[in-house]
Structure 1
Amino acid sequence: MPTPLTLIATITALPGQEAAVEAGLRLLVAPSQAEAGCLQYNLHRHQDNPARFSMIEQWQDAAALSAHQQTAHFLTFGKTCGALLAKVEQQPMQRIL
């Protein structure tokens, strides 16, 4: 059985776009959690910077993550909020303990 893949995606909104980006990210949570292969998908806001959000994700495997990135809700977020983002950082990880 493959080791689950954890992804920490840190999304930084442009100044003044924090509320719109948060609203768009919130729309991703429920449909992403319902996807086959999704083990965890939770949205967080950084305490020290309200423009920074982190999505803590865990997927059954890399194929499940790849499928997620092709879903309508994921692609819609990119179309509706992509121009509102200053930066997106992705840290893929595998749990070892």
Structure 2
Amino acid sequence: MRSTHQRLVPRVHEAFSRRSVIRAFGAVLAIYLSPWAAASSQAQQQGARTMNHYATQKSLSDAVDGGGLLVVAQWEAKPGEADKVAAILDRFLPEAQREEGVKLFLISRARDNPAQFLFYELFRDEAAFKAHQESAHFKTWIAGEALPLLAKRERVRYALM
């Protein structure tokens, strides 16, 4: 049996520990529920405008009402490719947020490591997630342009409780 201290230390080899998912959820909620600060770069400013507009359109209770399929994804761009990935995501995000089966779709960029991106995607159901992956904007910007620029891509799917 492990000591209590050992259980509290996150395991480096696990892609998504319970603690990292909880932290990610907290960070996403903090972003979703509070206004974004003015960003220094034009890409960050565009992202802030997109997220602020989106946050005024839906409430958190609207998003989680009725459950759904939650997808949490973490990306890490290859060295030197992070700004290209961010530019692609700036174009992709508004399109993804407008999809019929999307209840909530947020993308954030790590402050400490701008090559890391966190996605928090809530779909009405499995069919909506499949439709998202079949959309023209997903195929063009994500599969066609962004994925080749990544060093790492991880996804975990959850059912809301």
Instruction: Give the TM-score normalised by the residue count of structure 1.
Output: 0.90
For residue 61 of structure 1, what is the aligned residue in structure 2?
Answer: 125
Any idea what SS the aligned residue of 2:147 has? Answer: helix
Contact 1:10 1:89 in 2 (8 A): yes
Equivalenced residues, count: 95
Gaps of 5+ in 2: 1-65
Cα RMSD after superposing both structures: 1.2
Instruction: Give the TM-score normalised by the residue count of structure 2.
Output: 0.56
Q: Distance in 2 between matches of 1:32 and 1:81?
A: 15
Q: Partner letter of residue 159 of structure 2?
A: Q
- Give per-residue Cα distances to partners, 1:57-96, cap 9 Å, x unaligned: 1000011001000101101122122221111111111121
Structure 1 runs of 4+ aligned residues shifted over 2 Å read none
Give runs of aligned pairs for residues 15-34 of structure 1, distance below 5 A: 15-34=79-98
Deviation at 1:48?
2.9
For residue 74 of structure 1, what is the aligned residue in structure 2?
Answer: 138
Q: Partner letter of residue 60 of structure 1?
A: R
Deviation at 1:40?
0.5
Any idea what SS the aligned residue of 2:134 has? Answer: coil
What is the percentage of aligned positions where both structures have the same residue?
A: 35
Q: Partner letter of residue 133 of structure 2?
A: Q
Contact 1:6 1:92 in 2 (8 A): yes
Where relative contact order (Cα < 8 A, 6+ residues apart) is larger, the structure is: 1
Contact 1:41 1:55 in 2 (8 A): yes
Q: Tell me which protein shows more strand as a share of its residues.
A: 1
Gaps of 5+ in 1: none
Q: Distance in 2 between matches of 1:31 and 1:16?
A: 26
Larger Rg, first or second structure (1 or 2): 2
